[in-house]
Structure 1
């Protein structure tokens, strides 16, 4: 818990208990579905679905655009959007049409053969992000893993450097943080690590160029894998000159730069890479580019692609460790083409970012009116409010500013009144279907929550 989130803890505890009780009473069908899932590990399809604030998860019955309806008939304005996976909105019509056509008319969910959609998507990703060569996976986690193998091979160096409290899926090398002594240590809760993470990875704080250079000076780092802005620990934006400094240092020390844009794609149609003029050697992305259909992708610079194809000793075709049978399947690529061509367009991003700006401005005003020591960060179509002011400047500060009880209270309070936020943090994402009325509804409920937290007893 932070030293001071600006709220009375006893009042918070009482309000939280009230909201959890109301949540359970109004969702008997979700509660029963959860109680009856005896053969699911953790009673959920994937254990992270137990990251919820109310004791059991909401069970979805349907979703369309920026709306989700649960088993008990409650409809929500969905600012979670599958934690970015549904940034295009739920079941956008062009994606539904493309996937249906592929399955019903073209026939075949997986063939282990290329389709023309794959070449179109590769060309579009090259246009948007500036990297000329692309390959596909089923998740961004896999894209990161495969790209890491390529960079270790071509550089001859063993280690990967990440930022403390970064998010790159379940990539083993990323589960390292800066410890109290300033050195790298395994992130708390790291499950079944194949080896001590300090043998595979180095770590530096985000926004710390001196710390980055100190680690790169060892000469054993194949690549810096980073988000252009931290996201999953709470949005931490780069300080002026920081990203340019990272690029200069990686070039100086002969280290590849790998940008993970899975979440920072919210910055614009070409992600933070295009919005901020970045020049990575590798770019990875996933989730949203196929409208919610599983996909991952990684792009390579021309020089890196040439270096890899020149290595006859690397098995890039059969069992070399950089592929999966279902990767690049025609359904994923049909969905990606429809999403990029017709849904997450430049025009759509302009509207999403403008809507997010309205969200950020309104939340900031409400926090200021309540005299709370919180802050707001915006990353394109993504907005987050933090329980710290000034906002954290690195991952360790961001982790320290967390207030799980306060966060959970706000999530349940909002859900009880028809608003969904990302369960992992206080993040709201705008889709092309999100409206200013949706934003206004969030602000109305958020204002009520703050009034109950800070008003007269």
Structure 2
């Protein structure tokens, strides 16, 4: 239904509008190109809509202002890193206090036990440890799983993403496990380390685990990094049964699905993982992640964790569990990501979903929108059931136009997806502004 010539013309016009509106960002982008690889401090910052990165001056609550003085409704929120909203006063105060008393000593701070108890309360797992990122936490728990089971492989979902963990950058090509497109310099053939199964396919999971060489199944309870894909009714309960039947540790990555509630999908849906990882949201913007485990798993790890050579076991890091990270996490979990916060944020996601669905229905488009907690996303296709279907439906040109159109009108969506994340700092008018902008974009695309 989309005229591609018209789409190209509209995209060109939006690119010109972007360049004219952001002269200072353009200047900083040229300066950064002299010293930074690809002109950015982290590679995927090149993926934003626009012909150069948007440079941010300040952020607070659900908004940010760029270096050209333009203000935006932020529906990305640091791709979950600022899910609490930007510049939480409690976190700012805790960080300021820790700055006056030392950020890191390689010893526990008084906040550590409080944080552990709060994570235990929220997620229901008995023991906890910390990491700098969810990538690290996932890497650590996979190492633990191989140690505990004596098995060499891990299993993941096709087109999953769990950070820069080598074993997880794998997809299916027919029945072969191959590196995910775009993965640079795999250290080994991923077929040697990983079994890959489609999301929502229980027969494929059963067959993969039946080989007897899988230590752990690492998965999100709903895929979020190839777009949002919800589990079929009863799927996760059967996943739990199959992992137990095959002696496989079940690891749930809640870094993005924390949007389902204070204890993520694990608490909201009554899941029973052996291990759980949660990352960036819990620190209010300060780098920190955590991984929890059942009492049974913890008991089996107690010996190695207290061993003389634990410092070279392949887990941890000098800045991991620092006083700064613990202070920020305590401040975040005591003032944000609570029941009352989700009670404010989830209805906004529901309103956003309804607004987008209304535009889609008005124009009789074969598109779809769905919601998970305080997160929602629209697709240019019917809802996919697995990662391969989602990957096949990606329309980079159309997505790029929609994002740039919104950005040029003061609304920032999450890059790589058509996804919005809501915090208690957003308002109904923020939601309605997106609906208005989305509707205008569709009308322009269809020439109506």
TM range (shorter): over 0.9
Task: Indicate the residue corresponding to 1:141 in structure 2.
Answer: 135
* Match in the other structure for 2:109: 115
* Residue 235 in structure 1 maps to residue 228 in structure 2: yes
Q: Structure 1 CA distance, aligned partners of 2:60 and 2:309?
A: 40
1:12-411 paired onto structure 2 within 5 Å:
12-37=7-32, 38-104=34-100, 107-179=101-173, 181-310=174-303, 317-389=310-382, 391-411=383-403
Determine if contact 2:63/2:73 at 8 Å carries over to the other structure.
yes
- Deviation at residue 115 of structure 1 after TM alignment: 1.0
- 1:315 Cα offset (Å): 6.0
Deviation at 1:369, TM superposition (A): 0.7
Deviation digits for residues 217-264 of structure 1 (CA, Å, limit 9, x no counterpart): 100000000000000100000000110111000000000000000000
Q: Distance in 1 between matches of 2:332 and 2:347?
A: 20
Match for residue 447 of structure 1 among 434, 439, 446? 439
Q: Deviations over 1:115-136 (max 9, x none)?
A: 1211111111111101010000
Are 1:429 and 2:421 an aligned pair?
A: yes
> SS at the partner of 1:284?
strand
- Tell me if structure 2 keeps the 8 A contact 1:314–1:320: no
Contact 2:198–2:387, Cα closer than 8 Å, also in 1: yes
d(CA) in 2 for partners of 1:430, 1:315: 45
Structure 1 residue 316: deviation in Å?
6.3
* Partner Cα distance (1:79, 1:201) in 2: 34
Q: CA deviation at 1:400?
A: 0.5
Paired residues of 1:94 and 1:343 also in contact (CA < 8 A):
no
Determine if contact 2:91/2:284 at 8 Å carries over to the other structure. Answer: yes
Q: 1:396: Cα distance to partner?
A: 0.3
TM-score (norm 2): 0.98
Asked if 1:8 corresponds to 2:7, the answer is no
Task: Tell me the equivalent position of 1:3.
Answer: none
Alpha-carbon distance, 1:184 to partner: 1.6
**Greater Cα shift, 304-313 or 17-26:** 304-313
Contact 2:261 2:337 in 1 (8 A): no
Per the normalisation by structure 1, the TM-score is 0.96
Write out the 4+ residue segments of structure 1 that deviate beyond 2 Å after TM superposition.
Answer: 310-317
Structure 1 residue 455, shift from structure 2 partner: 2.9
In structure 2, stretches of 5+ residues that fail to align are: none
Deviates more, 1:302-311 or 1:80-89: 302-311
CA distance in 2, matches of 1:312, 1:323: 11
SS in structure 2 at match of 1:76:
strand
In 2, the alpha carbon distance for the partners of 1:312 and 1:393 equals 40
Give the whole-Å Cα distance in 2 for the aligned partners of 1:102 and 1:122: 19
CA RMSD across the alignment = 1.2
Structure 1 stretches of 5 or more lacking a match? 1-5
Displacement of 1:183: 2.6
- C-alpha deviation, 1:317, in angstroms: 2.7
